[in-house]
Structure 1
Amino acid sequence: MSGYASAIGSHVGMVRSNNQDSGYAGYRLFLVADGMGGHAGGDVASALTAQAMARVDAPLAPPHDTGPGEPRASEDPAGGPANPALEDPKSAAELLRKQLLQTNRMLRSTVGDRPELAGMGTTFSGFITVEDRLALAHIGDSRLYLLRDGAFTQITKDHTFVQRLVDSGRITEEEAKTHPRRSVLMRVLGDVESQPEIDTAVLETRPGDVWLLCSDGLCGYVEDEDIERILRRRTSLQGAVDSLIDKSLAHGAPDNVTVVLVETLAEPDQADEPAGPRFAGSAANEVPGGEPVSTARTRLLSRRRISRRAQPVAESHFEPRVDEYLKELIAETKRRNRRRRILGALALLAIIAAIAGALTLGYQWTQTRYFVGTDGETVIIFRGVQQNIGSISLSSIAEDTEIPLSALDGNEQRQVQRTLSAGSLEEARDIVTRLGVHE
């Protein structure tokens, strides 16, 4: 049976005034939720979701006989019967899906009681461990990554408009990173849809795997190569979480950032990271009912500010008019690409014109210069300079003096063959006059 070690951290970032992210690292459940709706309730949506989903968490059965006060294998931490769905990965994935749908109804009911929260929603990416498998549920643009055997892979697919554009081949992955509508979500939990579609999957895991759950405050601003490098060089899971958050801060951290790391171990008793349920972000601070557990790092980072100016980030929002909005977005993308091509062509023409102008001015300057040389037989006054550009000569014959080269002494012949520069035609004639001609 595999064991699991985990670490968690969250930071409000450098721009936002409140943390709309929530994270949870429990006994068997690990998740990240990224709220939307700004001050209208993004933080409430993610916190309520994290707290509601944490109710399905349960510790692994103890590997020895339970002592007084310890929960039996058939009990959850609160003393009630454990959910048998947690013993089968497919059932666990279905349990997550149903719990998310129930949470979605709870969020909608909350808006009914508190109309000022209208429009709130949240993403969700999380999994339950079932021996050597993970039961995954995902909706929105928070992500799950896997580092295995030197390969770093994105497991989930974003439910965003730009991802649909990428999938359809209309834009590239690089263009998606800077697309002006990258914050538009197609699927979320909350006061937007009564029955949102939720992706589920069962994933195999093996010792040495490192699973990364994160909000887009990390993956949206830190390159995959940098994330992979930090995970490879980790000395501890919590140290890697701290380094990932620090990396986001170094990039200006315009959005909240939340990170959960889970490492698969060969044996359950190999874990040396803090165990037990821990909340981070909004769920650790703003939702009553139960004692939230937060790491010291989370509390420290919540107060931390780095003196670097960051650009505000666009608020994520859900777009219900999927087909109409996609057509509008595609048309806008075409217009933007057309403008980009036109601007690129104009820039290229401007560069070509500048080069041509510089060449013209340069050539005109060369034609103000003269030099005394030879065609091999007579002394010639040339207009221009001695250099050539490829097969193009920058000089022409101004005057043929008809003085035989053989009429000069040896030293003068060599000087003429090497050429003698002059600033004007008169100066070139003076040079010729001073040559000693021998009959």
Structure 2
Amino acid sequence: MVTAMRSVTGPYRGTNQDSVGCSGSYVFVADGVGGHAGGDVASWTITHRLMSALSPVGRRPLDAEHLRELIAVANADLSLRVRAEPELRGMATTFTGLFCGEGTMTIAHIGDSRAYLVRDGQLRRMTRDDSLVQALVDAGVIDEAEAQHHPRRNVIMRSLAGSATDAQEMTLLTVPTQVGDRWLVASDGLTDYVTEDELGGLLAGGDVEVAADRLLAAAEAADSRDNVSLAVSDVVATADLADAPYRYLGAAASPTRGAVADLSR
């Protein structure tokens, strides 16, 4: 995959609690849960620990249950960190990732970050929010338009928080993918402020860098009040991209961790 990433703190937040990571075969967004101490620590940990666990896999096929196990190992590090620093108790993160195989894409998802697929000009949401508002939509209490502006739209029901059961609650889905598909993964700092109709238009045409710039500009124009993180990935035929170096943005970008502190043990 060819991927362009963006992650900004935004004018309303003091720190960026989102982490974005990618290689030639993987891309993911982790949004540290707002209002909890250590959201940036949680997203940093999941992003880096998972990328490290994926390194030995290389180009070998990665089935969904193996991926679940790797995410569980990364998630376990959150509980280890809390034991060492009890003030971080309650930290958690969403996680939405794409894992490209031979003609397939495996989506791993928990929380309210999202994945979208654009194929033949049509935008399709590939994840379901693990959120209170989504539960209200499913129950017919509110519709999608009301959900976009609901005052409790940021309340999530599931996340990665270091519990042994977290990874089992993740949604893993493997779907066919093909050259020419365009994928988006994004935090709610984008999707809460830019409608899906707008997303479809912004993702149409141009290369991934152009599309990523459009999306970020749209979130900023909509006065997003959250960190905004996103990655746009095109599926291409070049196999050499599978060996592309890891890249990080947001909280994950700082090797010294800054506000995230030193996670090395």
With normalisation by structure 1, the TM-score equals 0.55
Contact 1:29 1:57 (8 Å CA) reproduced: no
Q: What RMSD in Å do the two structures reach over aligned CA positions?
A: 2.0
The Cα shift of 1:161 comes to: 1.1
Partner of 2:245: 276
What do residues 306-337 of structure 1 show as CA deviations (whole Å, max 9, x unaligned)?
xxxxxxxxxxxxxxxxxxxxxxxxxxxxxxxx
Residue 83 (1) aligns with residue 73 (2): no
Task: Select the structure with the greater relative contact order (CA < 8 A; seq sep ≥ 6).
Answer: 2
Task: Select which of 148, 165, 179 maps to 1:207.
Answer: 179
Distance 1:37 1:143 in 2: 17
Map 1:9-158 onto structure 2 (within 5 A).
9-38=6-35, 40-58=37-55, 82-83=56-57, 87-89=60-62, 91=63, 93-158=64-129
Letter aligned with residue 98 of structure 2:
F
1:298-313 to 2 correspondences below 5 Å:
none
Q: CA deviation at 1:121?
A: 0.3
- Report the counterpart of residue 194 of structure 1 in structure 2: 164
* TM-score normalized by the length of structure 2: 0.90
2:17–2:227 contact (8 Å) kept in structure 1: yes
Q: Deviations over 1:230-258 (max 9, x none)?
A: 11132x21121122111111111210011
Q: Percent identity?
A: 39
**Separation of aligned partners in 2, 1:111 and 1:11:** 27
Verify: 1:172 aligned to 2:143, yes or no: yes
Segments of 5+ residues of structure 1 without an aligned counterpart are 59-81, 291-439
CA distance in 2, matches of 1:178, 1:253: 12
Aligned equivalents of 1:122, 1:178: Cα separation in 2? 22
Deviations 1:259-290 (A, max 9, x none): 11110113436x7xx94211000000226589
CA distance in 2, matches of 1:39, 1:132: 39
Cα distance in 1 between the residues matched to 2:106 and 2:195:
27
Give, in whole Å, the separation in 2 of the partners of 1:29 and 1:238: 17
Q: One-letter code of the match for 1:106?
A: D
Classify 1:289/1:181 alpha carbon distance in 2 versus 1 (closer, same or farther; 3 Å). Answer: closer
Give the equivalent residue in structure 2 for 1:320: none
Q: Tell me the residue number matched to 2:5.
A: 8
Post-superposition offset of 1:104: 2.1
Letter aligned with residue 186 of structure 1: M
Cα offsets for 1:198-246 (capped at 9, x unmatched): 1111111011100101000111101112221111132x21121122111
Q: Structure 1 residue 57: deviation in Å?
A: 3.3
Deviation at 1:135, TM superposition (A): 1.9
The corresponding residue for 1:218 is 190
Does 2:263 correspond to 1:260? no
Deviation at residue 183 of structure 1 after TM alignment: 1.3
User: In the alignment, residue 204 of structure 2 is paired with which amino acid?
Assistant: R
Does 2:218 match 1:247?
Answer: yes
Distance 1:289 1:107, change over 3 A: closer
Q: Secondary structure at the match of 1:121?
A: coil
Describe how 1:380-399 pairs up with structure 2 within 5 A: none
Please tell me the residue identity of whatever aligns with 2:127.
T
Letter in 1 for 2:170: I
Q: List structure 1 segments (4+ residues) > 4 angstroms apart after TM superposition.
A: 287-290
Q: Could you tell me which runs of 5 or more consecutive residues in structure 2 were left unpaired when the two chains were aligned.
A: none
1:63-108 Cα deviation digits (max 9, x unpaired):
xxxxxxxxxxxxxxxxxxx438x6335x2x2222112222222101
Q: Secondary structure at the match of 1:189?
A: coil
User: Could you tell me whether the CA contact under 8 Å between 2:3 and 2:208 is conserved in 1?
Assistant: yes
CA distance in structure 1 between the aligned counterparts of 2:66 and 2:115, rounded to whole angstroms? 19
Tell whether the 8 Å contact from 1:27 to 1:57 is kept in structure 2 after alignment.
no
Larger radius of gyration: 1
Report the AA paired with residue 100 of structure 1: I
Aligned residues: 256
Q: Deviations over 1:9-63 (max 9, x none)?
A: 10001200100100001132210000014461111110111101111334xxxxx
Shift of 1:113: 1.0
